[in-house]
Amino acid sequence: MTEAEEKKALVVLGCPEVPVQNSLAVFTAYQLRKNGYSPLIAGNPAVMKLLMTSDPEKHYISTMTTLEKAVEDITDKGEKYELCLAFAHSDAGISYAATMRYLLPEARFITIVFGKEAEAIAKLIEYEGETIVEVAVHNPMSLRKKMSEVLGWAVSKN
């Protein structure tokens, strides 16, 4: 598939304090590319440093931006995405996800709620879209499985 034919996906990441987020972000970028998407990862500076460290040669994550710039590119430049995956484990994460949902009404929108308080945090969602909820903190496997089912990614035993 050529770059021109690739669909665009935006992956919105929250504060990196919950360990599963970083590995799932790399896994998500890998799966998105494998499935014909060009993923843009948006996060705060600490998130970007973690990902740069995890994938120094950019095998999986080729483009990253700050959350602020991702919002501005949509509001000021009319950037559009076919798919948006928003990771959230706090009220602030839900606020960013809600903002993206509002700004990208035509995108397939999936909120991935994780962390110790996943079930309580998921109840803060006031917008429409798909939601994946899993009390995952250190072990990404159950959330990875749910994401693979919802997104139609082939389940790998690796």
Partner 1 sequence: MGCIEELTYEVLAKGLTFQECREFIAKLCPRVYHIEPGTKLFGEAIIGPPPIAVGTDGVFLIFPYVKPCHETFVLKVEDPGEAARLATFAKPAPKK
Interacting residues with partner 1 (CB under 8 A): 14-15, 17, 43-44, 46, 67-68, 71-72, 74-75, 90-96, 98-99, 102-103, 124, 126-127
Burial class (CB in 10 A: 0-12, 13-18, 19+), 11: buried
Min. distance of Cβ 141 from partner 1 in angstroms? 25
Min. distance of Cβ 59 from partner 1 in angstroms? 26
Q: What's the token pair of residue 135?
A: 């009390």
**Closer residue to partner 1 in complex, CB, 61/94:** 94
**Closer residue to partner 1 in complex, CB, 37/112:** 112
Containing H/E element for 11?
A: strand 7-12
**Closer residue to partner 1 in complex, CB, 28/99:** 99
**Closer residue to partner 1 in complex, CB, 14/140:** 14
Min. distance of Cβ 138 from partner 1 in angstroms? 19
Angle, nearest 10°, between helix axes 45-54 and 20-34? 70
Min. distance of Cβ 123 from partner 1 in angstroms? 10
Rounded to an integer, what distance in angstroms lies between the CA atom of residue 122 and that of residue 72?
26
Report whether 54 contacts 24 (CB < 8 A).
Answer: no
Taking alpha carbons only, the member of 125, 153, 130 closest to residue 32 is 153
